[in-house]
Amino acid sequence: MYSDSRVTWDEMGLEYPAVKIIRCKNGDLAGAAGHGGDCTRFLDWAYDGFKGQEPKWKSTGHGDDVWGGLVLKKDGIYVASRGDSLERVMLDFFAIGSGGKAARVAMMLGKTPEEAMELAYRVDPGCGGEIQILQLHADR
């Protein structure tokens, strides 16, 4: 799983680096994009295997006030959003976030995930920072 590290806080005119992908306790990988607080809540919930009560999301789920989660398991890619269970993506690759569409097109054209991210950085001002990489089958 690959991720950029830029978070933009448009209302404040700020940006900062953050961790957007994690390895869960069970070895799955999880990532999130969108509303910063809800991304953190999703990653914390995913880390513990989605046990316990679903977090109280702060985003409205409309317009720019949304978030999305991605989980990579041994059997495939799954997406999540507020109030929904994980849904299997029947593709070999997927991308979310502001640069997600650009990255998906690049991978459709044969680019590696890292090359796709570099291209997304060039066309999406919301992308940037250090590229974070986690391998699904790496030792815990």
Going by pLDDT thresholds of 50, 70 and 90, the confidence category of residue 62 is low
- List the chain domain ranges: 2-133
Average pLDDT over residues 104-123: 96
**Is the CB of residue 96 less than 8 Å from the CB of residue 79?**
yes
What is the pLDDT confidence band of residue 83, given thresholds at 50, 70 and 90? low
66-78: average pLDDT = 94
pLDDT of the residue at 73: 96
pLDDT at residue 82 greater than cutoff 50: yes
Quote the CA–CA distance of 130 and 66 in Å, as a whole number: 23
- Look at residue 136 in the predicted model and tell me its pLDDT: 93
With contact defined as beta carbons under 8 Å apart, do 39 and 20 qualify?
Answer: yes
Q: Does the structure show a pLDDT above 90 at 63?
A: no
pLDDT computed for residue 140 by the predictor = 46
Q: How many residues does the structure list for the chain?
A: 140
The per-residue pLDDT for range 29-59, each reduced to its tens digit, is 999 998 888 999 999 999 999 888 888 888 8
Q: Are 2 and 19 in contact (CB under 8 A)?
A: no
Q: With a cut of 50, say whether residue 109 has pLDDT above it.
A: yes
Fold designation for 2-133: Glutamine Phosphoribosylpyrophosphate, subunit 1, domain 1 (3.60.20)
DSSP-derived pairing of the beta strands 67-73 and 2-3: unpaired
